[in-house]
Structure 1
Amino acid sequence: MTTVTVYSTGPACIRCTLTCKRLDAVGIGHTVIDITRDADKAIRDFLTDELGYSEAPVVIVDDEPEHHWSGFRPDLIDALAVHARRIASEQLQVSSAGLTRKASHVRR
């Protein structure tokens, strides 16, 4: 299962809101973390110093630093949705194949 974290600067951030709405529209669950609180300084430092971003939102997929982007990117969200559906379909096929094998084994 794909995990998506959206680092947001709050409800006033239009790009953050659009990103979350697009993720919802394509059926991708996500967690939103508001990085404007003082308690989230370490996260802000990571996003700006380590990843090099200066605009919100920052989206990280599967907690992999190499799979991330900044800003409202409907093209990347749509590509992620296609990838997630393909993975789900492959898992369903494997699961169905296992059930078919079990059922044929029981038929003796």
Structure 2
Amino acid sequence: MTLTIYAKAVGCFGCAKTRQKFTDVGIAFTEVDVTANPGAFEYITEELGYSQVPVVVYDTDDSEDRWSGLNPARIARVIGIETVREGALA
């Protein structure tokens, strides 16, 4: 599983809440600051077609789920999947 959050480091409520939700339950993620990384900004806007951060890309078991903006339902879904996976691996 990989979880990548493309976000602004500061000044973005949705970015902060998304980070917080995953951090609170101990799910590891890679954060990419799109304000400091022009290639990442180009990737989320040109290749993925998003115009709002955060952009979350969740890869697991040869499938990809991604979304833009603060999305509590999608965050909860990923947390649920990862909680079950962690339980199965224990």
Structure 1 length-normalised TM? 0.72
* Correspondences of 1:61-72 after superposition (within 5 Å): 61-62=58-59, 66-72=64-70
Q: Which runs of 5 or more residues in structure 2 are unaligned?
A: none
Which residue does the alignment assign to 2:57?
A: 60
What amino acid maps onto 2:23 in structure 1? D
Structure 1 Cα separation of the partners of residues 47 and 13 of structure 2? 24
Count residues in correspondence. 89
User: % of aligned pairs identical?
Assistant: 31
Correspondent of 2:88 among 76, 87, 90: 90
CA-to-aligned-CA distance 1:55-89 (integer Å, 9 cap, x gap) = 00111113878411111111111111111121122
- More strand as a share of residues: 2
Query: Which structure has more helix as a fraction of its residues?
Result: 1
1:30 counterpart residue number: 29
Runs (4 or more) in structure 1 with deviation over 6 Å come to none
Length-normalised TM-score, structure 2? 0.85
Larger RCO: Structure 1 or Structure 2 (Cα < 8 Å, ≥ 6 residues apart)? Answer: 2
Instruction: Give the equivalent residue in structure 2 for 1:10.
Output: 9
**Structure whose CA Rg is larger:** 1
Deviations 1:4-27 (A, max 9, x none): 111112211111001101111232
